[in-house]
Every structure is written in C-alpha cells, then in structure tokens.
Amino acid sequence: MRPASLFAVFVLAKIAMVAGRSLAASAWSPIALFWHDAAVVLVYAAADCALRSRPRIGWALYVALSFYAAINVPVARVLATPLTWPMLRATHGTIADSILYHLTWTNTLLLIALLAAAAIFPELLRRAPIRPVIAALAVCAVLGPVAASRVDTRGYERNAVTALVTTVLPMRSDARGEWRSQGFDRTRHADVSRFHGIARGRNIVVVSLESTAAQYLGVYGASPDPMPNLSALARQALVFEHAYAVYPESIKELYSILCSIYPAFRSRAEDYAAFPCDSVARSLATAGYRTALFHPGRFMYLGMEAVIRNRGFDTLADAGDIGGNRESSFGVDEPAAVTAMLKWIDQSPGRRFFLYYMPIAGHHPYESPVQGPFPAGDEFGRYRNALRYGDESLGRLIRGLQERGLSRETVWVILGDHGEAFGQHEGNFGHTFHLYDENVRVPFLIAAPGVIERQIRSRQVVSLIDTAPTLLDLAGLKSPASYQGRSVLDGEPRMAFFFADYSLGLLGLRDGSRKLIHDLGSGRSRLFDLENDPRENADIAARYPFETRWYAENLRNWIASR
C-alpha cells in the first residue's frame, strides 16, 4: 500500500513538473519519463518490507519522501530541474532574497496540494495488490534505460531523489585523447596585434559585470540600451562579438579569469585554495602594480574566498569592508563600492595600479534602489533596470578617473562573468543550468582612451579563459606556462569551451559559426549554426554527423582532463 501510494505521489509530482513543457511524444515516453520514480519506489518497497515489524519507520520514510517530492515541484516549475546538490549548497543567506521572491501563492498551493494527496493516497490505495504493482514498477525500471535512449526527456526522468543523488556522485568521462586540437574554423579576423603592450606603464581596470549577457547591451545591438556609459566607453575600444564564459556561475568563472585554468567538473569552489594558480594579479604585483579587488557582495558566497585569497591582491574589499548606504542579502550598494575604489586609488597617487571590480548589480532578484527607465512589472524589465543602475556606477568610476587626470593613463577590460536567461529556451531561467548563448555569451571589450581612437569590432571567438594572458599581453609581460588560454590579440582561430554541472552535465563549444552542446548523461549532442540561427532553434547535428561526433569527442577529452 505504501509503495503504491509513494509512486502515485511521484507521478503526480512529475505531471506537475512537466505540465506545459513540450516533450517528445512516443510510445516509450511514459517509461522514459517515470523509470526513475519506479526505481526509487522499488528501493523504498524493499526497505519497507525489511522493516515490516517496525511500520513507524516505513511511514516516516513515506512522509519524508513525499514531502521532499512536494517541495521540488515549485522548484522544477521555475528552474526546469528538481533540487540538485549544487543548488542545495547555494541556498543560504546570500541568496535569501531570490528564494523569497519565488515563495508565491501559486507555488505554496502546489506544495499544499501535493502534501494533501500524499495524505489521501494511502487510504485510496489501501487495497491495491502489492505484487502486480511491484512487477509493473520492475518492468518500468528495467526498460527505462532503453526508453531513455529513444526519447529525449531533457532530464525530466529524474525525480527529487535521483536528481540529488546523481549530482552528489562524480560524473566522469573515460576519454583521454587530445582536446587542444584546432577546430574546423580557419577564419582569420581583424588584425589587432598592434595593441600588444598598450597598457605598459598604464593602469589596468577590469570590470566583471554580474549576470550580463552580451545580447542585452547596446554595444551588441540591443535597443533601448541599458548601459549607455559602457556604450560610450566602447566607442574607443576593441569589441569582441563572440566571447564566451567558461562556466555560467561567478565563483568558478572567477578562477578561470584570474588563473587561466579551466575549473574542474563538479568541484567545490571551497577547495580551490589548494588548486594551482599563477594569478594575473600576482604577476602584475611582481611587475610593480598596486593590486586590489573590490566586490560589494560577500566573499563568503559559495567559496569565493578560496579563489581570491593569496592570489596577489594587496587589497581585498567586500561588502563588510566597504559598508554602504543600502544592504540586501547579497551585498551593499554600488555607489559605495565606487567611492571606496576611488579612495583606494587616491592613497598612492602616481603609482600604477591593477583594479578588479566585481559589481553585483544584475544579480537576481534584480532589485535597484532607484527607479529605472524600464517597466518594473516583469523580471526582464527589473533586470535591465539593475543593469542601468550598475552602469551609473560604472559611469561614476569612469568620471572619477577622468577627474584625476587618469583617463589616458588607464586601459579598461570590461567583461561579463556569465549571462542570464529569461525563457528564450523552454525552462531556461537564471544562468547556471544551460549553455545557450543567453547563458554563456558575454561582453568582452578592451578600451584605451587616447590609444584606441575608434571602435574596432572582432568576430573572433574568444573565451574568458583568455583574460589573464590578455591582461599580461597588454602590460607587455609574458604569460606563465600554466595558462590554458591565449591572448585575444594573437589573432589565431580558437574554440571556446564551456560547461554546466548544476543540474545536467552539459558540455559545449563554439568553433567559428558552429556551436555544440553535449549532454554527458544521455550522450546526445545538438549542433547549431549561429550565423544562420542565432537563437539556437534548429538542431543540425543529423546533417553533420562527422563534425558532431568530432566535437563531442573533443569535449569529452577536455572534461576528462579537468
């Protein structure tokens, strides 16, 4: 009776999760969609049978599993995935505002309805014959992998339990081949080699914009423009049109930026203190630069301290050091951070500096202390208002350097740490779960007022793994041998690699106009031609089987080396 009731709860939860989603229809679809539920119930049934003499434990397990399934329904409806281990680790004070934002009446009522069903099912199914139920569940579980090979469930076969368990366990690739091979693209773009060493003797400022996808900015064609100060700076800049984040989350992306080493798949940022890193900040400090990182958020967030401590920064300042006029669960206001940075610059006039600024404007739930020009009734409008608020602080920093006579003595590198999605693809919201361009294509520009006199646009594919070698190249310094990226000024064609592991294990690359996304779990690959399909709607993998297999194998070789 309890196993049948638990399966009924899981089925109801799965239906609520996938309602409104477009999934492949096939005779195999029910088995492909519910085989994880069947497998978990079989394990529960075995435990329940073994504990027959202690029914209270069986009931406690039933209640716990039903409750956990219920709380995952609103999560999956918002994020298209049940809770995973990385998601659970992220749910603490620094994103409390984002969690409360989704505590709506609809989600609360769904939770209550599932719990009510879990209470009713044992009475409704108390006469259900156990043996036929177990036999049916066993058939479903055994045929599940076969069905999954025929139907793309997009990860919805996982239930609350298996989504958690599979993301705790390591996902490894047995590939061990070469991954640094050049792709199929041989296009050479604008020659920008003349900019080698333009930061020699100048200050360097890096601004890592939070959750900022390229496609939302005026620099990349968006209208209206949420960041006019950035667009003004870009008029005297080298603008890369196809720049990609390595990982769609801030902390491990920061490691790849500072160290030019790819982060490890399904690793904890807290462990990165022991990871090798020839930090660009240390190289610049050795060359005589004052170095500082300012972040109006909190360094304790998801292990950021392990990434930035002992990396060559003379000054590290977060929300606690900066103070501020306004606080949220995530940090303090951007104007306070700008004031603190300008004060730091004033402490040693005449000495070269390397300043790394990590604003938080743009982070969910996209709150701004001032009214912006965009409609505030939807998330995308609030997001653009948050970008505008951050842009105003960027403008204050630019003007602060101008007022100090440092404008022509400073080279700027502006980038986005990752993108942000607003449902451009079904179930794709936020930034951590998918590898579409809204998640990983980011702004990347080098501005040097007085040196770069006009805007120059490059269609070369580059990656944020290239940031540290580019900064050293601009400063006229040699990159350490450990770097896995290359200066964006060398002009050589390259592939950009990226991955996501918060839910499904996804690998991706961009090679010229081609982009591949590979699911490690299912083994499926999707290939897009972004020149003709910039919205990534048409999968052309079946038309190009050789390229698809080559890209997928290269990605498996790459991730196996992490």
In one-letter notation, the amino acid at residue 537 is: N
What pLDDT, on a 0 to 100 scale, did the predictor assign at position 100?
54
Query: How many whole angstroms separate alpha carbon 209 and alpha carbon 416?
Result: 5
pLDDT computed for residue 373 by the predictor: 93
Please write the tens of the pLDDT for every residue from 363-407.
888 888 888 899 988 899 999 999 999 999 999 999 999 999 999
Contact 254, 468 (CB under 8 A): no
Q: Which fold has domain 193-405+428-494?
A: Alkaline Phosphatase, subunit A (3.40.720)
- Please state, in angstroms and rounded to a whole number, the distance separating the CA atoms of residues 471 and 467: 6
**Sequence ranges of the domains in the chain:** 2-168, 193-405+428-494
Report how far residue 64's alpha carbon sits from residue 48's, in angstroms, rounded to the nearest whole number: 13
Cα-Cα-Cα-Cα dihedral sign, residues 211, 215, 220, 225: negative
Residue 375, judged by CB atoms within 10 A of its CB (0-12, 13-18, 19+), counts as exposed
Rg (CA), the chain: 25
Give pLDDT, residue 172: 61
Retrieve residue 213's tokens: 């996808």
- Residue 171, helix vs strand vs coil: coil
Model pLDDT, residue 526: 97
Residue 161, helix vs strand vs coil: helix
Q: Which pLDDT belongs to residue 499?
A: 96
Residue 371: what pLDDT?
87
Q: What local confidence, expressed as pLDDT, does residue 137 receive?
A: 86
Cα–Cα distances (Å) from 3 to 10, 126, 263, 445, 545, in that order, read 11, 10, 42, 58, 44
- Which among 403, 286, 405 is positioned nearest to 354, based on CA atoms? 286
pLDDT of residue 514: 97
Residues of the chain with pLDDT under 70: 91-103, 171-177, 328-330, 562
Asked if 472 contacts 485 with a C-beta cutoff of 8 angstroms, the reply is no
